[in-house]
Every structure is written in structure tokens, then in C-alpha cells.
Amino acid sequence: MSVKTNQPSGEKTNVTKLTIVAMLAAVAVVLQYLEFGVPLVPSFLKMDLSDIPELIGAFVIGPLGGVVICLVKNLVHLLVSQSGFVGELSNFMLGAVFSLVAGLIYKKHKTKGMAFLACILGAVAMALVSLPTNYYIVYPIYASLFGGMETILGLYKAILPSADTLWKALLIFNVPFTLVKGLLCVAVTMLIYKPLSRLFMQMNSAIKRHGKQA
């Protein structure tokens, strides 16, 4: 005699969402390892595309899904941190803003055009937020760990002597760098949006189907 056990619909939905989060977080971790330097910025500013899975997560399972993926990614990266955990803190704060803003906008109108607009606005928000978070939180911690603010500013002044204050350095280098990083992630996300749209629908259908089953 077999015994049939009905898993509560809420638990099925949560399991589906957790599976998606785990899958996308794993991809984000890999992409974060594939960081690379770019010219005309200090060497400690690295470019990576690990925000792409966060955007996808924000679209598929909601804005908070993107934030959770960003958190998991950076918690894993702490194991190999070379920045005294400061880089991971900055990455989380900015990535969370990016995916949260994009996810909230996309949630209202789920079309490709709105996805593009949502990503652009998310990238702009991330760049703008990078200025106060770096000035008041990230760089003061960095300075306390790595030789003081003058040492850090020296890396900027070696490229552009007029970048002689933290505010100037962040405005001239970090804000444009962060915006370009965001726009690059937007471009790749839009390129893969169409082939992934069917996967999005299948994931959403799975969530809804599990939510209806008793």
C-alpha cells in the first residue's frame, strides 16, 4: 500500500524559488571570478558581469530575488576576498540597488521594452548610489585597512593629478566606471533576453503551478 503525501503549496513555491536562486547565484559566483582590469582607472577597480544573474533573478522571481542572489554571491566570494571584505560589501550594496530598482520597475510591466528601461534606470541608480556609499562607507574602511586615504588617492593622482580629493576621484573615475559596468551588464542581458524569455516563462509557470497544487 502506497501513502500519498501532499506537500503544502507554499512549500513547493518556496522550493522552486530557492532552486532558481541557487542556480543563478552559482552563475554569478563564476562570473565574479572572471573579473578583469580596464585602462584609465586604478588597478583595484575591476570589471565583472556578475550582476547579470541578479537582473535575471529580479525579473523571474521578483526584486528581492535579485538582492538575495547578490548577497549569496558576495558571501561565497568572502572566502577568497583580497580586499578585507570591503570589496564584497561595496559589490553587494551596489548590486542590490541595481537589481532592486530594475526588478521593481519591471514588475509593473513585464515587456522587453520595460525590461530594457528598468535595467537602464537600475544602472543609473547604481552609479549615483556609488558616490555616497564609497565616500562615507567603503573608502574610509579601505583607508583604515590599506595605508590611509593619501595612499589610495595616490593611485588616482598617478592617472590624473587633478584628482586630489576623494570626492573628485570618485566623481571622475568611480561613478563613470560603475555606470559603464552597469550598462555593459544591461547590454548582455538584453542580448540574451529573447532566448531566455522562454526559460523565464517556464520558471514562472513552475512557480505558479506549484503554488496552485495542494
Question: What is the Cα–Cα distance from 64 to 74, expressed in whole angstroms?
Answer: 15
**May I ask the CATH class of domain 9-37+45-208?**
mainly alpha
User: CA 136, 140, 142 angle in degrees (round to 5)?
Assistant: 130
121 phi and psi angles, rounded to 5 deg? -65, -35
CA nearest to 99, candidates 207, 192, 189: 189
Rg (CA), the chain: 20
Q: What is the pLDDT of residue 214?
A: 47
Cβ-contact 177, 41 below 8 angstroms? yes
pLDDT digits (tens, 9 = 90+) for 124-137: 999 999 999 999 99
| Domain limits, the chain | 9-37+45-208
The residue behind cell 538575495 is 68
Q: What is the pLDDT of residue 120?
A: 97
Q: Model-level pTM?
A: 0.86
Residues 81-110, mean pLDDT to the nearest whole number: 91
